[in-house]
Chain A
């Protein structure tokens, strides 16, 4: 499998795009700095492409467990007021959030 060239892959515009996907409002200065740094990091991590993996299965985690479920029994949740006390804004026993839809 061919790995994309890191230098092409993580230019300033790509980082701006990835930042948008990640909900990060990066500054221009950060975009410049990260473009250089992440290019070098990607260059280094791209070495995984050297491994002969053939039909080697991926490892997602080290513990041989799947679908661990508890008994379907209701247990108490954290008290609402305690949880809301940690929120930046609350109203009417709920998290208060900024508007979701645009004006137009």
Chain B
């Protein structure tokens, strides 16, 4: 079968063929490497690709299989990792010049778990510098383009991962989500993205942006693939002190069961403050139309749908843009040019403080600097109570709104992001316009709750995402409803949403 046919398969199907010996890991890996070689110049999804190592690793998996070794279901499957995960011996930058050339001495727990499961690392994907952004334009290295329309952003901060998976340059990938950085890029590229319950996936080896919010999770072409990848990385990690020591519900099983489409008894709340009546400012009509159709679809499958009000969500954006920069200003203090990464002006004429300040000046981009300054200000004596302290109290109010809502409903839904993918360059000089892309994803981030984005159609030919939020540790509910929506929409249109990408991309000069 051709390279493109192989790279069109979802990961579950590719895994089945690998296990059955119909395809070798070397063939699958080479198919992806060929497409990366041919198309990533235009898409810009990757910061680092090492084809030789990937093929060696694939060959080792094939040899083990040929020798009759017992292999797990992920063995031989290629995967891409956002460049925020440290990977032993493999360049890791977090999208920043300050880490240029650094090869970490250890693996992040999630990278290690995927390695142990026998996956083949294709490469590290582009991202907004230190995961600060919603368009991947804040990367210090390159622009990443949306495979649906190369003139538009792939979302962010996990935009390299979304572009790679949607564009056929990886079967699936890991991203991280601090305020929406998995869900928003998944939504604007027609993928499934899930932010797990905070604490349910290890943060060990994840370069920290905002420690109380950062969470790793899967980005995939189907709900089932996302669930399978999530299961492979999740679970307690003694190396992460915020890791929850509790068993995770079976996710892939929920995705399979959910796809049968029976939602009888499920209580679904539509959040008024996220695109509902009186709260439609900034939301595109097409997004609201797809959202309304999704509500009808879910009702039609037997769920009981009602509107729910969460008034504190109106303050999620200001609270987030105080809390995240505050934590970032502290976390990013470790980049001082002494222990890793670049060092500037160490010429004997400058002392330690000056070398640190000049290194950080040269190593950080504008958004990172803005957030460090804002965070330093919000944490300053005299302003702490008014800004950071107040934001933390708002965070409590948001959690209380969720708790009250979940007394009456099992899941909450909203659009994932207020607009479809916007044109590259259109928001770069306006931080507030950029931040608005996170409007719908921030509440679940602040409350540490699981949330999925699942495609719910197109608007102006570009993907729209439906967000499904659930109580802590009830990630299975997200997968189950997402699978029902996906199955119903796929069956109604007769094919997957992503199958429409080549036609669309052809029309706009995008990746074929």
Chain A residues engaging chain B, CB cutoff 8 angstroms: 1-4, 9-10, 14-15, 18-27, 30, 33-34, 37-38, 40-42, 44-51, 53, 56-63, 65, 68, 70, 78-79, 82-83, 85-89, 95, 97-102
Residues from chain A with a CB closer than 8 A to the CB of B292 are none
Tally chain B residues at the interface, Cβ within 8 Å: 76
Q: Is the CB of A99 within 8 A of B337?
A: no
Closest beta carbon of chain B to A57's beta carbon, Å: 6
Q: Roughly how many angstroms separate A85 CA and B88 CA in the complex, as a whole number?
A: 13
Closest beta carbon of chain A to B375's beta carbon, Å: 8
Q: Is the CB of B351 within 8 A of A1?
A: no
A-B contact count (CB 8 A): 195
Q: Roughly how many angstroms separate A81 CA and B364 CA in the complex, as a whole number?
A: 27
The 5 closest A-B pairs by CB, nearest first: A62-B448, A58-B392, A88-B343, A61-B212, A25-B361
Residues from chain B with a CB closer than 8 A to the CB of A34 are 366, 369-370, 373
Q: Roughly how many angstroms separate A25 CA and B448 CA in the complex, as a whole number?
A: 35
> Residues 324-356 of chain B: 1 if any A CB is under 8 Å from the residue's CB, otherwise 0?
000001000100111111110010101111111
Q: A4-B383, A48-B394 are in contact. Are A24 and B361 (CB under 8 A)?
A: yes
Q: Is the CB of B199 within 8 A of A56?
A: no
The contact of B393 among A2, A14, A58, A65, by CB within 8 Å, is A58
Which partner residue on chain A sits nearest B448 by CB separation? A62
Q: Is the CB of A86 within 8 A of B339?
A: yes
Binds A, one of B6-14, B100-108, B295-303: B100-108
Closest beta carbon of chain A to B383's beta carbon, Å: 7
Closest beta carbon of chain A to B246's beta carbon, Å: 11
Q: Can you list 15 A-B contacts (CB < 8 A)?
A: A1-B390, A25-B357, A25-B360, A25-B361, A33-B366, A44-B432, A48-B315, A51-B315, A56-B396, A58-B396, A60-B212, A62-B448, A63-B448, A65-B244, A89-B346
Which partner residue on chain A sits nearest B436 by CB separation? A44
| B492 part of interface (Cβ distance < 8 Å) | no
The contact of B340 among A2, A62, A87, by CB within 8 Å, is A87
The contact of A100 among B199, B342, B352, B431, by CB within 8 Å, is B352
Q: Is the CB of A62 within 8 A of B399?
A: yes
Q: Is the CB of B387 within 8 A of A37?
A: no
Q: Roughly how many angstroms separate A102 CA and B181 CA in the complex, as a whole number?
A: 44
Residues from chain A with a CB closer than 8 A to the CB of B355 are 98
